[in-house]
Copies of this chain bind each other. A is one copy, B any other.
Amino acid sequence: MKKFLIADSHSIVRTGITYLLKEEFLNIEIDACSNGNTVWEKIKTNSYDLAILDINMPGTDSINLLQNIFAFCPDLKILILTTSREEIYARIYLQLGVKGFINKDADDAEIRKAIITTLNNKKYLSPGMHVIQRLEATKRGPLSLFNRLSPRELEVMTHLLEGKNVSQIANLLCAHTSTIGTHKAKILQKLGVTNIIELKEFTQLFNHTGLGTTKLVS
């Protein structure tokens, strides 16, 4: 008997994963949720063999959530579901303690493999992400630019790239506007850009070169 937690803001994705799990395992129990608060409630009151989490759920401070989770339950196996755009942040999450990273672009067979591997308490990364690790090892290359950003800064950046303004982000992360303002300034400074448009173009550059991506065009 295995027990799973699935968190993704898209119902259709939860449905897809549910069926994948049902095909793979005979005797399972599945909890599904669509936001960080529910994830936290579920994890506090249940014991899971594996939690499969989207890291970009609206209104959710994922890093904070993961920190809470690992403080409460250090051995929980967590498999992160991600889109290619978010892979640049992979290292931060790995450091926090997640077991695996799987890209939503992956086919079902690969997702199955990721689930089984992490369930067996082994680390799993999407194929395309070994590039990231390698680049990171050389400590050079454009990706290390993103590594220069602290977890909090990365978090703020994702919100900035969605068009949120400083006050909205402050609200979301329960921080002072001037705090977020400071983060924003440091992000721009570290990445060598001067405004949001340039930040947007900069990150798009990576999406286009396929540097942080598994498959952009198939």
- A contact set with B: CB distance below 8 Å: 9-17, 19-20, 34-35, 58-59, 84-85, 104-108, 111, 160-163, 165, 194-198, 200, 215-218
Cβ–Cβ < 8 Å partners of A111 in chain B: 11-12
Q: State the CA gap A165–B155 with chains docked (Å).
A: 24
Residue contact B11 to A19, C-beta cutoff 8 Å: no
Residue contact A163 to B195, C-beta cutoff 8 Å: yes
Residue contact B105 to A162, C-beta cutoff 8 Å: no
Cβ–Cβ < 8 Å partners of A105 in chain B: 9-11
Q: State the CA gap A10–B211 with chains docked (Å).
A: 19
Q: In the complex, which of the residues B34, B160, B196, B217 contacts A163, with contact meaning CB atoms closer than 8 Å?
A: B196
Cβ–Cβ < 8 Å partners of A194 in chain B: 163
Take A15-B20, A200-B200 as given contacts and tell me if A218 and B34 are in contact as well, using a CB distance cutoff of 8 Å.
Answer: yes
Q: State the CA gap A14–B216 with chains docked (Å).
A: 17
Residue contact B12 to A217, C-beta cutoff 8 Å: no
Take A197-B200, A216-B59, A217-B59 as given contacts and tell me if A106 and B11 are in contact as well, using a CB distance cutoff of 8 Å.
Answer: yes
Min CB distance, A31 to chain B, in Å?
A: 16
A-B contacts besides A10-B104, A85-B162, A160-B197, 6 pairs, CB < 8 Å: A11-B105, A12-B104, A12-B111, A15-B19, A58-B215, A163-B198
Cβ–Cβ < 8 Å partners of A19 in chain B: 15-16, 19
Take A35-B217, A218-B35 as given contacts and tell me if A197 and B163 are in contact as well, using a CB distance cutoff of 8 Å.
Answer: yes
Residue contact B108 to A11, C-beta cutoff 8 Å: yes
Cβ–Cβ < 8 Å partners of A15 in chain B: 16, 19-20, 108
Cβ–Cβ < 8 Å partners of A218 in chain B: 34-35, 59
Residue contact B106 to A195, C-beta cutoff 8 Å: no
Cβ–Cβ < 8 Å partners of A13 in chain B: 10, 12-13, 16, 104
Cβ–Cβ < 8 Å partners of A59 in chain B: 216-218
24 A-B pairs with CB atoms under 8 Å apart are: A9-B105, A10-B104, A11-B111, A12-B16, A12-B106, A12-B108, A12-B111, A13-B13, A13-B104, A16-B19, A19-B19, A35-B217, A58-B216, A58-B217, A59-B218, A85-B162, A160-B197, A162-B197, A163-B194, A163-B195, A163-B196, A163-B197, A163-B198, A197-B197
